[in-house]
Structure 1
Amino acid sequence: MGPPPVVTGISPKEGPPGTKVTVRGEFLGTGPMDLTGLTICGCDCLLSAEWKSKNKIIARSGPGKGRGDIIVTTRSGGKGTSTVQFRGYHETIGPMKESAVWVEEAPLQTLAWGRRSLSPTSYQQEDPLGLSVEGNDKKFPEEELHELFPEGSGDLTSEQFVAGWFLLEHHHATSFDDLKAGLAFLRRKVESQKEGQLSFLKANVGSVMDQLDTLTILKEKFEADIKEYGSDPTAKVEEAIQVSMKEANKLFEEVLARRDRADATRNALGVLQRFKFLFSLPVSIERNIKKGEYDVVINDFARAKNLFGSSDVPVFKKVLAEAELRVAKLQELLQNKLKEMPCTLEEQKKIIRNLVNLEASGDPAWDAIVTHSNFIVEGLKACKDEHMAAEKTSSEDSAKSTPHSNKFGDKTPGGGVAQDWQNSVPQRVLFVEEVSEIVTNRFPDLWKLGQAYFGGELHVKVDTSKQAQFKRKVLTPIDLLCGLLRAAILPHTLDRMSPLRPGLGVWPAPGADSLGPWLPHCLRCVRSTYAGLIRLDLPGEALDIVGCLIFDLRLHCMSTQFIQGTEYIKLLHKKETWIIEFDADYSGITQLPSQLEAKVREVVRLVKESVLAGEQREAALLEDGGAQRQLAALVQGLLLSFGQALETLAFSNNASHDDHSNAVSQLIGSPAVYRAGEKESHCPVWEQRLLTTLSNSRYTAAAVLPRVSELFVQHGYPSPAAAVAAATSALASLDRSILEMYLEQKSDPLVGTIEPSMYLGRFDWDTALRPVDVQPYAKEILTNMVGVHAEVHRVNPSLVPRVLGQIVESVAEELSRLMSCVTRFSLQGSQQARADVRAVQETARLYTTPAAQTFFTEALEAIPPLNNPADEELVSQLLARFRARMRLQLLCFGDAQGP
């Protein structure tokens, strides 16, 4: 609220009504619209006020009299105050003086009895005292006059005339002697007016007598005529005239008849020529209707009605009736054309304008709105029926051809025959394109037509009660569009639909499975229609219907993209080539982790471009709690699916699928790494596939998942920490399962051959034979471990410690068990046993776990100790000979020198 206005100056300070007044002051308003009131001497002068600036206003004074304040009122400051006053007064105004009030132009009565002044100057009354007031410049204050004579007036013609007011107003400075002289002048003037009437008659006695004589003669003549001709002398004259006319007509009857016929013919031809426009109007109307020039017909008909509508001539009435019949047919034609669709907005407006000009019955503008709305609704339904029938036919044809296709085609994840969807557009996608195009092209005309109707642009009588009906006419096509789209591509959301659901139809169920790759395209079509509706400035209720559909479609598109990616990743085991790649950081991996990362990158990019990037008036998808939870579940499912693919690779082809012997002993069967008769194949053996899968799992958990997590964050997704943690945990569990399976396949057979090999040839630890070398079973243990080492190292060297650690532990445990089961050792048996155990222990020391070390210690403790240094020296010699002979095998364990 600003400061109140203050008036500090006014020019001029007084004047009659209509005086142009300049008001000056402060805070007189910020603009013309801010000025809301201006009163001068209590009279409202806002109508004539002209705002110039915040310090100046120009206005004209009102009919107020006396002194008064100038009050200015503004919206920003309210009612103001005034430090100056304006004095308004009334003055006698003549016809030649400018005035802002009405001046009665009737001449005023002068003081002369019975006379009126003929001169315009008589409006200015002379002083009745005959005194001059030229030297009386100072006027007596009018306020004091009002106080002295509240009910009086100084006007000589007023009924409230007061002599005192007159003298004070005009002669307040006149001396008393002058006033006495003026009184004497006034008395003489009145006496002279009384004498003037009698002198006038005396001066004109002769003329008055002549006038009286003339009137007497006229009276006598009139009385003589009455006696001679009666009271009505014109009757005989009229009768004589009538007889003369009859005789004259008898002489010229034939001539006059021919003349009348000629005149009638001439008049008829003249009428035809003069009114040619009217007589040719019916034919002209028909011709212009055929040409489609309806405006010309309307203008001609309106012109004819203006010229001849009030005529009583029968032929004119007949021609106008013919024209009206043709105009009625034109009205019917235009009303039918108004219902013909499709029709552009301009054409409809033109037809409505023509019907209005023809004063057609009904409300053509509203009929056009109803027709347009019904046309859109029927178009949407017809499009639905057409494409639904086409998809049904396509489904039936596909069902008939499915058995033949299954023979040669590959099955898709959904169970159908693989097709080239890029070259075969589904009917539902074509349906989405077509219905979106129908609404985009037709709905704006409906909305603009309604706006023109209620805005008065169509020049028809607007029925404001139809606004609710128009709202339904607008919402029905939009609601139907969204319902049809949901039925086609989002059938799972129909439970939230309006009562229009029964008319949406039921699409063939299998068709929805093939829409996945087309959902982004469908979303773009719906968004394009939504953008067009937004530009129309529709009410929020209509836009919210489409906005809700787009939100659900975005959510479904996101879900579909992730599910498709998940299905693709689950089937990556079919794309495994088993070609191992090596790099500096991670060895023994295939292309599967890279394919996982590439697919995740593709899904993330597609979902961001088509779904997450919200457009105009679209809510952010990830701000919705349900969408966030769904996205988290989808991301987790996407990442966990790779573990399922690895699990399929690891456990679907077990050992029974490979026709190999379980014997791993060189002494009692073929070793695992030298299996005889094994056929060459591009696919590695199952144990190597286990190792490769294990390596892929470790690489994915250590390298791929962190990069995937960063990828989601870079593209604006919420952090997938929980999904990555779940995937990492699943891969860790899979890692343990694969390792246990591999160790089961390698460790158990290896350990199971130790006892048979140890007692091969009926060997007994209570022998008397001097040992000369480490026994073959110990060398066989090391050779089998070398085979495992080579197999693991070939795939991924980093796995060697984990695998060999477990195998060494199993071997140590078996040696401990076997040595503790020996009932009797001879000296030579003790030397042999100690040399065998120490050879295995020292060779595998780099992979010996604490548990394995404990088992080796227990095995040595089960062997009787050697108290003689010579016996210990023999064991040392045996170990030295073992190192020399087994140098190559020792290099495999990373130790060329031995202990």
Structure 2
Amino acid sequence: MVPPPVVTGLSPNEGPHGTRITIRGENFGTKPTDLIGLRICGFDCLLSAEWKSSTKIIAISGPCKGTGDVIITTRIGGEGTCNVSFKGYFEKTIGPMKDSSVWVEEAPLFVWGRHSLSPSSYQQEDPLGLSVEGNEKKFPEDELIEHFPNSSGDISSENFSPGWFLLENHHVTSFDDLQAGMVHLRRKVDGQKEGQLSFLKANISSVIDQLDTTMILDEKFKKDARIQGPEPTLTLEKAIKESEREARKLFDDVLTRRDRAEKTRNALNVLSRFRFLFCLPCVIERNIKKGDYDIVINDYMRVKNLFNKSDVPIFKMALVEIERRVALLQEMLHSKLTRMPISVEEQKRLIRHLVNLEAAYEPAWDAIQSHNDYLNKRVKECYTEHKHAEEATLDESKIKGSGNKFAKFNNTPQDMTGVPESVLFVEDLCEIVSQLFPNLWKLGQSYFTGELHVKIEPGRQVEFKHIVLAIMEMFCKTLRAAIIPHTLDKNYDKATFGSWAQSDTELVKPWLPACLRHVRATYAILIKLDLPNEALDIVFTFILDLRIYCMNILFKQAAEQIEQLSKQETWRIEFNGKHNGITELPIKFEQAVQEVIQIIRESVLTSEQREGSLLDNPTAHKELDNQVDALLGVFHKVLANLAAKEENEDDDSSPVVSQLIGTPANYRNNANKKTLPTWEKRLLTSLANCQYTRQVVLKNLEESFAKSGYPVPKQAFENCASKLESLEKSVLEYYLEEKSDPLVGTIEPSMYLERFDWDTNITPKDIRPYAKECINNLIHVHCEVNCISPALVDSVLPQVVQTIAEELYRLMDCVRNFSTAGIQQATADIRMLREVFQGYLTSEAKFYFDEALAAIPRLENPGDKTIVEDIIIKCKQRMRLQLLCLQPRNV
């Protein structure tokens, strides 16, 4: 820490206005520019100060009166202190031998004729005859002037005041001494009176001679008056003037040379004395070349204070030349001030120079305007550059890709050859505003807070506010035109805010999160500048719209990605714990949604400074619900499309389920088919996918929404679950229709194969083949469903069994004549089927089996009943494997 300056000595320590003072002390700085303040008795004397060293400064005192301190202020040590005092006073007159801070016209050296001689100064002794050796302490002059106005203590003065004299010279003298002094003064006066009378007595003869001489002179004057007339001096004056003319004729050349030499001497004296003034133009030019503008301004202000009011022509000519050089300096500084780019600190320095030079214009406001113009210019140049690059890219793509009519719709980042120009423009525009606008704002704040020490014109604050708002409006509208033009008014000025090709606008969508990051970075810089809320709200509104649009685009891209999952379905069964029989489709769907949730949370939903929660906005919340609903609806459509039968698929692709009446069709058709599963298996797989999505995936997604901070769109999930449930019913109906109808259709032909009749006389020993075939067909369905999804067995098999029971009831009800053997056969068949299908009987199936048995006449003979029981027992023993196949899982 550098110590403050200290003044320890002054030479002289008193004097009138304009006294040259040598100031000595410590810590006055290491160079002239360190001296930034000098006050003598409270008056600023910096302009007249000359820094000599760190311990010596020479200055000229100001118009001060009374005693005060000499305070020095340095750049590195601050304001200092003073151990001595300086006394200033005013002088009524300034003689030719007195130093003065102003120009004093000198009298001519030679004056022809008489001139009065000033009396020589003398020191008058004390009239009281008292000693004043002990009276070193003087009575204050200010109090004397206050008590005796318009008076003086000088004995020779007309305004002599005895009281002033006594206070000034004898204010500590005792009363007894003053009485003795008065006695001395009376005796002295009396002695002078007696001396006059004795003087006349002693010199009486001389006095008489003087009277005689006076009488003689009087007679001669009267005689001359009679001879020369009443005005003898006129003749004398005429003679004197004639003599003067003759004398001048003799000495004209000498006097001319003397006058020329005198003028030359005076001019050299003036040049020598005021060399600083006359050399200043060259000094100014030299310092301007070196860049020492502070020295130029200091010298200029010093000369202006000293010679601005002078009427001397030579001084006026020098001042005119100095003013011309200063005017050129002002033009150069103003040119540097408005030439961009330039740092704010450099502009402040130039503004301070122009203010010190008393420029007629407003340098600070001109600097603000230049910043504003340069920022707008850079924005236009940036737009023009990227617009030309975009046009060149479009022309090149037309030449290379004119054959691909659908190339412009392929807008995924993987298919893009580069970053769109509009995205590059957004990045560059944010960088321009982030770099240039803070300088404009800081300069404006310095201007209005008084840091630049300039006068603020009325209305400038309103104008600056309009400039800031216009820049923010231009920044946001230009960004909207580049990446979200649909949010702009249809009548917006394209020439001002730009326009971009629609194809580029489509390609921008994958880059929206990156654009949002750039805009947020700029917004953070603007917030740190402490801009007014009105300006920040413009950017906030744009960021809000961009966040909502970015969220929508990310959801739409995820929907497009999910829509493509139907083409990626391989129908390969995955075993996933309890939910067997699903493919990768639901898992990929869940991963896609989880990924978009994470991306949106990180890039859009995460609130930065002064943004707030996006989902607190009603519009954003509604958009989120709509987009989630649409996203889930897309996957529902994917599942529905995969469950639908392909148009070119063979209607006879399902195998014939009867070995008794024909050969299965898959033996002859599957040889030439692709590896694509049959439609029935695809239906089962789609059904499993629907159940897994509804029961597991939707719950997982709800938890993910909640963990990620989203408001769970329950309505969207409920709608999706309802749609999936309806789709499950439809798929199940399709599958049952495909499986149950062929299976039931083979029962009647197989029952009456080889012209069988229920009025037969052949005692039965086993159940009929059609019954075995029903069991085998149901086992086939069970196997098919269980291989794909065991969870679907309980949903599919009961419906198939119910259809079989209904068909058996219909066939039994149609029989008109039963023999005893036929009754035995029919009863054994129906009972065996009911026993085998026991694990999958619904209430309707039980009803139909009971009705089928009721349609068969009852056996009254115990022996006939025993035959039926034996047949059932033997069939159970032979068909243990089939019974195990159809045993429910929970048994």
The TM-score, its normalising length taken from structure 2, stands at 0.71
Deviation at 1:344, TM superposition (A): 2.2
Rounded to whole Å, the distance in 2 between the matches of 1:198 and 1:418 is 126
Deviation at 1:728, TM superposition (A): 1.8
- Matched letter for residue 514 of structure 1: L
Rounded to whole Å, the distance in 2 between the matches of 1:234 and 1:618 is 110
In the alignment, what sits opposite 2:801? 808
Q: 1:751 aligns with which of 732, 739, 744?
A: 744
Does the 8 Å contact 1:658/1:685 carry over to 2?
no
Q: 1:705 aligns with which of 698, 701, 708?
A: 698
Rounded to whole Å, the distance in 1 between the matches of 2:212 and 2:466 is 96
Q: 1:530 aligns with which of 496, 520, 523?
A: 523
In the alignment, what sits opposite 1:364? 363
Rounded to whole Å, the distance in 2 between the matches of 1:665 and 1:398 is 63
> Is residue 2:426 matched to residue 1:427?
no
Deviation at 1:240, TM superposition (A): 10
- Going from structure 1 to structure 2, the CA distance change for 1:102 and 1:401 (only over 3 Å counts) comes to farther
Rounded to whole Å, the distance in 2 between the matches of 1:494 and 1:622 is 23
Rounded to whole Å, the distance in 1 between the matches of 2:503 and 2:426 is 17
Does the 8 Å contact 2:653/2:666 carry over to 1?
no
In the alignment, what sits opposite 1:619? 612
- Going from structure 1 to structure 2, the CA distance change for 1:99 and 1:894 (only over 3 Å counts) comes to farther
- Going from structure 1 to structure 2, the CA distance change for 1:622 and 1:419 (only over 3 Å counts) comes to closer
Does the 8 Å contact 1:654/1:686 carry over to 2?
no
User: Which range moves more in the overlay, 235-244 or 419-428?
Assistant: 235-244
Rounded to whole Å, the distance in 2 between the matches of 1:359 and 1:242 is 57
- In the TM superposition, 1:394-473 aligns within 5 A as 394-399=393-398, 401-402=400-401, 404-405=403-404, 415-416=409-410, 418-420=412-414, 424-473=418-467
- Going from structure 1 to structure 2, the CA distance change for 1:697 and 1:225 (only over 3 Å counts) comes to farther
- Going from structure 1 to structure 2, the CA distance change for 1:202 and 1:466 (only over 3 Å counts) comes to closer
- Matched letter for residue 785 of structure 2: V
In the alignment, what sits opposite 1:606? 599
In the alignment, what sits opposite 1:352? 351
Rounded to whole Å, the distance in 2 between the matches of 1:559 and 1:201 is 121
- In the TM superposition, 1:661-676 aligns within 5 A as 663-671=656-664
> Is residue 2:466 matched to residue 1:477?
no
Quote the RMSD (CA, aligned, Å): 4.5
Does the 8 Å contact 2:411/2:507 carry over to 1?
no
Rounded to whole Å, the distance in 2 between the matches of 1:791 and 1:223 is 177
- Going from structure 1 to structure 2, the CA distance change for 1:884 and 1:304 (only over 3 Å counts) comes to same
Rounded to whole Å, the distance in 2 between the matches of 1:103 and 1:198 is 29
Deviation at 1:793, TM superposition (A): 0.4
User: Between Structure 1 and Structure 2, how many residues are aligned?
Assistant: 726
Deviation at 1:300, TM superposition (A): 5.7
Structure 2: runs of 5 or more not aligned: 1-136, 153-160, 225-231
Structure 1: runs of 5 or more not aligned: 1-94, 131-188
Rounded to whole Å, the distance in 2 between the matches of 1:231 and 1:222 is 20
Does the 8 Å contact 2:288/2:296 carry over to 1?
yes
> Is residue 2:781 matched to residue 1:788?
yes
- Residue 420 of structure 1 aligns to a residue in which SS? helix
- In the TM superposition, 1:579-728 aligns within 5 A as 579-651=572-644, 653=646, 656=649, 660=653, 663-671=656-664, 677-679=670-672, 681-728=674-721
- CA offset digits 1:848-885 (Å, max 9, x no partner): 11101111111111122222222222222333343344
In the alignment, what sits opposite 1:551? 544
- Matched letter for residue 358 of structure 2: E
Rounded to whole Å, the distance in 2 between the matches of 1:300 and 1:291 is 15
Does the 8 Å contact 2:652/2:665 carry over to 1?
no
- Going from structure 1 to structure 2, the CA distance change for 1:196 and 1:429 (only over 3 Å counts) comes to closer
In the alignment, what sits opposite 2:566? 573
- CA offset digits 1:418-442 (Å, max 9, x no partner): 5536862122211111111111111
- CA offset digits 1:738-765 (Å, max 9, x no partner): 1111111111111122222222333322
Deviation at 1:481, TM superposition (A): 0.4
> Is residue 2:194 matched to residue 1:206?
yes
- Going from structure 1 to structure 2, the CA distance change for 1:401 and 1:770 (only over 3 Å counts) comes to farther
- Residue 459 of structure 2 aligns to a residue in which SS? helix
- Residue 393 of structure 2 aligns to a residue in which SS? helix
- Going from structure 1 to structure 2, the CA distance change for 1:220 and 1:377 (only over 3 Å counts) comes to farther
Rounded to whole Å, the distance in 2 between the matches of 1:96 and 1:272 is 43
Q: Percent identity?
A: 45
Rounded to whole Å, the distance in 2 between the matches of 1:677 and 1:577 is 18
Deviation at 1:524, TM superposition (A): 1.5
- In the TM superposition, 1:183-262 aligns within 5 A as 206-207=194-195, 209=197, 242=244, 249=251
- Going from structure 1 to structure 2, the CA distance change for 1:402 and 1:245 (only over 3 Å counts) comes to same
Deviation at 1:689, TM superposition (A): 1.9
Rounded to whole Å, the distance in 2 between the matches of 1:500 and 1:474 is 19
In the alignment, what sits opposite 1:106? 148
- Going from structure 1 to structure 2, the CA distance change for 1:234 and 1:720 (only over 3 Å counts) comes to farther
- Going from structure 1 to structure 2, the CA distance change for 1:237 and 1:585 (only over 3 Å counts) comes to farther
Deviation at 1:333, TM superposition (A): 3.9
Does the 8 Å contact 1:551/1:619 carry over to 2?
no
Rounded to whole Å, the distance in 1 between the matches of 2:214 and 2:361 is 74
Rounded to whole Å, the distance in 1 between the matches of 2:831 and 2:463 is 100
- Going from structure 1 to structure 2, the CA distance change for 1:237 and 1:608 (only over 3 Å counts) comes to farther
- In the TM superposition, 1:730-741 aligns within 5 A as 730-741=723-734
Deviation at 1:283, TM superposition (A): 6.2
Rounded to whole Å, the distance in 1 between the matches of 2:519 and 2:141 is 71
- CA offset digits 1:784-838 (Å, max 9, x no partner): 1111111110011111111010000111111111111222222222222222222
In the alignment, what sits opposite 1:168? none
- Residue 729 of structure 1 aligns to a residue in which SS? helix
- Going from structure 1 to structure 2, the CA distance change for 1:242 and 1:798 (only over 3 Å counts) comes to same
Q: 2:554 aligns with which of 561, 579, 582?
A: 561
In the alignment, what sits opposite 1:511? 504
Q: 1:848 aligns with which of 838, 841, 846?
A: 841
- Residue 882 of structure 2 aligns to a residue in which SS? helix
- Matched letter for residue 437 of structure 1: E
Rounded to whole Å, the distance in 2 between the matches of 1:714 and 1:356 is 62
- Matched letter for residue 706 of structure 1: K
Does the 8 Å contact 1:747/1:807 carry over to 2?
yes
Does the 8 Å contact 1:494/1:501 carry over to 2?
no
In the alignment, what sits opposite 2:109? none
- In the TM superposition, 1:828-867 aligns within 5 A as 828-867=821-860
The TM-score, its normalising length taken from structure 1, stands at 0.71
Deviation at 1:507, TM superposition (A): 2.2
- Going from structure 1 to structure 2, the CA distance change for 1:99 and 1:281 (only over 3 Å counts) comes to closer
> Is residue 2:889 matched to residue 1:890?
no
Does the 8 Å contact 1:646/1:697 carry over to 2?
yes
- Matched letter for residue 798 of structure 1: A
- Residue 678 of structure 1 aligns to a residue in which SS? helix
- In the TM superposition, 1:290-329 aligns within 5 A as 298=297, 321=320, 324-329=323-328
In the alignment, what sits opposite 1:68? none
In the alignment, what sits opposite 1:390? 389
In the alignment, what sits opposite 2:15? none
Deviation at 1:616, TM superposition (A): 1.5
In the alignment, what sits opposite 1:80? none
Does the 8 Å contact 2:655/2:666 carry over to 1?
no
Rounded to whole Å, the distance in 1 between the matches of 2:439 and 2:609 is 22
Rounded to whole Å, the distance in 2 between the matches of 1:689 and 1:864 is 44
- Going from structure 1 to structure 2, the CA distance change for 1:457 and 1:769 (only over 3 Å counts) comes to same
Does the 8 Å contact 1:569/1:642 carry over to 2?
yes
- Matched letter for residue 445 of structure 2: Q
Rounded to whole Å, the distance in 2 between the matches of 1:197 and 1:693 is 143
In the alignment, what sits opposite 2:810? 817
In the alignment, what sits opposite 1:869? 862
Rounded to whole Å, the distance in 2 between the matches of 1:755 and 1:333 is 113
- Residue 581 of structure 2 aligns to a residue in which SS? strand
